[in-house]
């Protein structure tokens, strides 16, 4: 299934909406296409916009020139080939009945990921840096994977770009490796502040490549 669980279903509504999808095959090497099985079930998306949410073309946005079957084609190419398993968002605007839409905010359901990162003992390490956001964001769920025979307990927290703790109520939370966790309280990040996901160990000796944490998914809602 190509649609993320927090995304829209396989139809785009008439109002301004967004759908988060994942590429199910490699696109053209020159960055001119995106391939996704779910696209064949959608109405013609020509003229809508796509924003890349992972991979080497992260955060690039392009207008769709044609939509045929599973393929989106772009005259203005992405900087790199859009590979299998790349996340992307389609923004669809318009209004029903010829009257246009009065919606002023676009709600986008998305996911952030980060590769395995080495621990540095009891020192906080950045796992994901969201300090560059420009719109309000709700963080709603997280899953991380811990690798290694840690002497201490791996723990995590969220701070703003100034280093002030945002979440949780206590100083930090234990990481429950491989388990999807819904954040027990609404975590709303102003676009002006940004956020950073950090982790550490409770043992000073848990340092280096033998002790890692990966961000499998950080589920969020962007209120643009």
Q: Which tens digits make up the pLDDT trace of 188-204?
A: 888 888 999 999 999 99
**Residue 224: what pLDDT?**
59
Q: Would you say residue 96 has pLDDT above 80?
A: no
Instruction: Look at 36 and 18; give whichever has higher pLDDT.
Output: 36
Contact 116, 66 (CB under 8 A): no
Domain 110-223 has CATH 3.40.190.80: no
User: Secondary structure of the chain: what % helix, strand, coil (to 5)?
Assistant: 5, 45, 50
Higher pLDDT, 125 or 87: 125
Q: Which residues of the chain does CATH 2.40.10 include?
A: 17-98
Prediction pTM value: 0.56
pLDDT digits over 110-122, tens only? 889 999 999 999 9
Question: Within a 10 A sphere around the Cβ of 137, how many other Cβ atoms?
Answer: 24
Q: Which region, left, alpha or beta, applies to residue 162 given φ > 0 means left and ψ of -120 to 50 means alpha?
A: alpha
CA distances to 115, 144, 201, 207 from 149, in Å: 19, 16, 12, 11
Given the candidates 1.20.140, 2.40.10, 1.25.40, 3.10.20, the CATH classification of the domain at 17-98 is: 2.40.10
Residue ranges, comma separated, of all CATH 2.60.120.220 domains in the chain are: 110-223
CA–CA distance, 17 with 201 (Å, rounded to integer): 41
């Amino acid at each position: 299934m190509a649609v993320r669980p927090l995304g829209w279903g396989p139809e785009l509504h008439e109002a301004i909406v967004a759908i988060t999808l994942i590429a199910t095959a490699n696109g053209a090497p020159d960055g001119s296409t995106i391939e996704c099985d779910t696209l064949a079930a959608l109405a013609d998306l020509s003229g809508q916009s796509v924003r890349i949410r992972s991979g080497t073309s992260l955060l690039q946005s392009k207008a769709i020139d044609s939509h045929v079957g599973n393929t989106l084609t772009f005259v203005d190419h992405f900087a790199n080939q859009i590979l299998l398993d790349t996340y992307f968002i389609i923004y669809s605007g318009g209004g029903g009945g010829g009257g246009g839409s009065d919606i002023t905010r676009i709600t986008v359901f998305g996911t952030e990921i980060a590769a395995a990162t080495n621990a540095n003992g009891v020192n906080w390490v950045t796992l994901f840096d969201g300090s560059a956001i420009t719109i309000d964001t709700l963080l709603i769920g997280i899953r991380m994977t811990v690798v290694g025979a840690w002497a201490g307990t791996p723990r995590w927290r969220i701070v703003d770009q100034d280093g002030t703790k945002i979440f949780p109520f206590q100083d930090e939370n234990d990481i429950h490796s491989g388990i999807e966790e819904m954040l027990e309280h609404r975590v709303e990040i102003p676009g002006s502040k940004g956020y950073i996901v950090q982790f550490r160990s409770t043992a000073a000796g848990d340092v280096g490549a033998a002790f890692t944490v990966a961000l499998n998914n950080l589920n969020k809602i962007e209120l643009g």
